[in-house]
Amino acid sequence: MLTEAQAWQALDAVPDPEIPVVSVTELGIIRELRCDDDAVTVVVTPTYSGCPATEVIGSTVRDALLAAGAASVELQTRLDPAWTSDWIGEAAREKLRAYGIVPPTGRAAVGGVQPIRFVKKTLTCPRCGSTDTERLSEFGSTACKATWRCKSCLEPFEYFKPI
């Protein structure tokens, strides 16, 4: 019989297919897990409803749980509440930074009416630490990332946008 702790441990080893340095649990997209005997139910909230990695995530989650001893795996997708980058754990944020992706800054899901701020965003280069950076494109290799460049070391880097 697969325990809940064993199931979580198996999911901790499943990398996000678009950012393999973090797991699906560290990214915060696994919202719920239930073990009933050898049947496991997993509730996944994709980073956004049109995320192209959703099917890959589902199949790797299923494969990991079956390999860990689950007799069957039911995957459910939950879009409400919508995923927010606030669900990314602090350890995962450090892994992103070490990988060369600036983690989201601020809080995205504070709720209520938010004032519009016309303040230029300053990001710290994950390679050299300079704050002399500029945005090159609002969209990077995935819709949830933007492409930036450091003016000091001239290296491009990605910024995981607050969602």
Q: Looking at the predicted structure, is the pLDDT value of residue 111 above 60?
A: no
**Contacts for 151-154: CB closer than 8 Å, 24+ residues apart:** 152/125, 152/128, 153/125, 153/127, 153/128
Query: How do residues 30-39 score in pLDDT, each as one tens digit?
Result: 999 999 988 9
pLDDT for position 35: 97
Alpha carbon distance 96, 110 (integer Å): 22
Architecture of domain 4-77: 2-Layer Sandwich (3.30)
**Are the beta carbons of 160 and 85 closer than 8 angstroms?**
yes
Name the residue ranges covered by the structural domains of the chain.
4-77, 99-112+120-160
Q: Which pTM does this prediction carry? A: 0.84
**Are the beta carbons of 163 and 48 closer than 8 angstroms?**
yes
Paired tokens of 25 = 């649990």
Query: How do residues 49-101 score in pLDDT, each as one tens digit?
Result: 888 899 999 999 999 999 999 999 999 999 999 999 999 999 999 999 999 99
Query: How do residues 5-18 score in pLDDT, each as one tens digit?
Result: 999 999 999 999 99
Name every residue whose Cβ is closer than 8 Å to that of residue 110 and which is 6 or more positions away in sequence.
none
